[in-house]
Structure 1
Amino acid sequence: MRIDTALVRRLVNGQFPQWAGLPLTPVDPGGSDHVIHRLGEELSVRLPRHEGAVNQARLEFEWLPRLAPHLPLAIPVPVAVGEPAEGYPWHWAVSRWLPGGPADDSVGNAVVLADFLTALQTAPVTGSALVTGERLAARDDDTRAAIAQVAGKFDAGALTAVWEAALDAPAWDRPPVWFHGDFHQGNLLGDGGRVTTVIDFGGLGRGDPARDLMMPFTLMSERTRPVFRERLGVDDATWARGRGWALAAGLNAYCSYAGTVPRVAAATTRQITEVLAG
């Protein structure tokens, strides 16, 4: 459906009249899951683009204020959840505006991000409803199909070897821990290249921490990945599964968007290449 500034204006004015006089400016590029507008100087409005993102507004509103005190980096501060209206079918979010630019591939950031995950995984916040038992094997058919699709661009044999090693790795057999669920370079904000903020917690849940090992294959390189892995204390089986999660996500995004969005093509090409490098 078309989500333009006029629609966002009607939703805000109709449900939050206290902000009706604030300027509304589209953020470009937005996210693959949300259309984003800046509302005044201090707020942002995020509307899901598709059904896969429709639970994020309420999820973040409930859980992020409970997790934030335990985390060493800033995370989104939800302010309100909007209701479906004006022909728009889903809940949407108003949050504090978070400034920032890109984060650099540095040893310092590798340490900071490992410490963030350590704090997240051990946060003393329970929520059985968020425990997920999704296994990597659920993505087997789609990932093998994607490997076949990109065989002219990447080494399909090497991709298959990484994927099968991930599937063969022992499963997580310890208590579930918190994971971000979409922990990659695009969900960071930085100040002068130094990571300050982690955003986009739509995949938040509790389970296997390997799901959050996309970051070392998106932001980092062979120089900084070992620093991150040692700091976080990742065992061989979890690292293998993490490479699998990173590969599956990178292939999915590459096959879905690389042909039409050059920045996604560049980011996912790097992600897949770094997964192969290990």
Structure 2
Amino acid sequence: MTDVEIEITAELVGDLVRDQHPDLADRPIRLGARGWDNQLWRLGDDLAVRLPWATGSADALLRKEFTWLPALAPRLPLPIPVPQRFGEPSGRFPRPWLVTTWVPGTPADRAPLTRTSDAAASLATFLMALHRPAPGDAPAGRNRGGPLADHAVQFAAGLTAATERELIHDPDAVRAVWEDAVTAPAWTGPALWLHADLHPANVLTADGGLCGVVDFGDLCAGDPAYDLAAGWLLLPDHAAGHFFAAYQPTPDTATLRRARGWAMARALGGILIGDAGVHGHPGGKSTWGPPAHAALRRLTTTQR
């Protein structure tokens, strides 16, 4: 995490919009959300201002979204935040920022998906539309969408930390899922477009169903197994089977094994971040813990 040197307020956001996009300056401004990398401020009813605030990498991620999302959005069957305007660094705020469309809904770490079949079908349809071969100049992932073994050191450290804090009760079962996944044959198909950050805080729900997907900062090209891990991370109990049946072409056994490994790594990370949030540590988010524990339970019981 980096030091937050500038306090982001409604007044600052209003000044930035007035300076660079004065035709939007008469819209009311209110806080929408504070995410991991960015803050989101509502700009009227249908737009939002997205500003980096806590991580040094966020600037490049915003530029990536501005470059790629307008072309990808039309083919996706769920609403996503589509960049409309770019904000240049300035004396008021020395980092880039975006004006995007606003996607209504409640993050799934606060309002979980409950409509099993509908949610599984919606997620599968969305990923089928996204998972197309990416062009050669598509962005590379930040250790996402590549070989699972590249994540081994981080996974081992996370498992040790979670075990020492007594956050998991059967580390051998966790390790077994990971070791099976690491030994699965690698992806040999084309590099596909990936969202690459499908955890509960990045999908939106309404009435128990999936109504939107947000935060494409980790958009990249690679192995679809990384996104397919969402079958265990996002969906209700016993929904993963519905999801993998709906996703076409049906993932082969090796891809499912890799997806389980990625899901376990993401669940373990969510458990640690959730625990940090409970204790008020920087970077902690208490709402991430419960869905991560639920995903770990599904994975260690091979629940489909």
Identity of aligned residues (%): 36
Alignment correspondent of 1:244: 261
SS in 2 for 1:197: strand
Over 3 Å counting, the alpha-carbon distance change for 1:190 and 1:255 in structure 2 is closer
RMSD between aligned alpha carbons? 2.1
Alignment correspondent of 2:155: 143
Q: 2:59 & 2:294 partners in 1: Cα distance?
A: 29
Over 3 Å counting, the alpha-carbon distance change for 1:91 and 1:36 in structure 2 is same
Alignment correspondent of 2:244: 229
Aligned AA for 1:241?
R
Over 3 Å counting, the alpha-carbon distance change for 1:88 and 1:242 in structure 2 is farther
Aligned partner of 1:79 among 42, 62, 84: 84
Q: State yes or no: 1:220 paired with 2:229.
A: no
Question: What displacement does 1:127 show?
Answer: 4.5
Over 3 Å counting, the alpha-carbon distance change for 1:24 and 1:167 in structure 2 is same
Deviates more, 1:107-116 or 1:9-18: 9-18
Q: State yes or no: 1:104 paired with 2:113.
A: yes
Q: 1:156 & 1:52 partners in 2: Cα distance?
A: 32
Question: What displacement does 1:221 show?
Answer: 3.5
Deviates more, 1:60-69 or 1:251-260: 251-260
Q: State yes or no: 1:113 paired with 2:123.
A: yes
Aligned partner of 2:296 among 253, 272, 278: 272
Aligned partner of 1:129 among 138, 141, 148: 138
Over 3 Å counting, the alpha-carbon distance change for 1:271 and 1:81 in structure 2 is farther
Question: What displacement does 1:93 show?
Answer: 1.2
Alignment correspondent of 2:280: none
Alignment correspondent of 1:161: 176
Q: 2:47 & 2:84 partners in 1: Cα distance?
A: 8
Q: 2:288 & 2:7 partners in 1: Cα distance?
A: 21
Q: 1:87 & 1:240 partners in 2: Cα distance?
A: 49
SS in 1 for 2:100: strand
Over 3 Å counting, the alpha-carbon distance change for 1:88 and 1:142 in structure 2 is farther
Question: What displacement does 1:3 show?
Answer: 3.6
Aligned AA for 1:107?
S
The alignment's TM-score, normalised by the length of structure 1, stands at 0.90
Count how many residue pairs are aligned between Structure 1 and Structure 2: 276
CA contact (8 A) 2:178 2:261 kept: yes
Unaligned runs of 5+ in 2: 278-284
Question: What displacement does 1:34 show?
Answer: 1.3
CA contact (8 A) 2:66 2:83 kept: yes
Q: 5 Å matches for 1:176-215? A: 176-215=191-230
CA contact (8 A) 1:222 1:277 kept: no
**Structure 1 stretches of at least 4 aligned residues deviating more than 6 Å after TM superposition:** none
CA contact (8 A) 1:131 1:176 kept: no
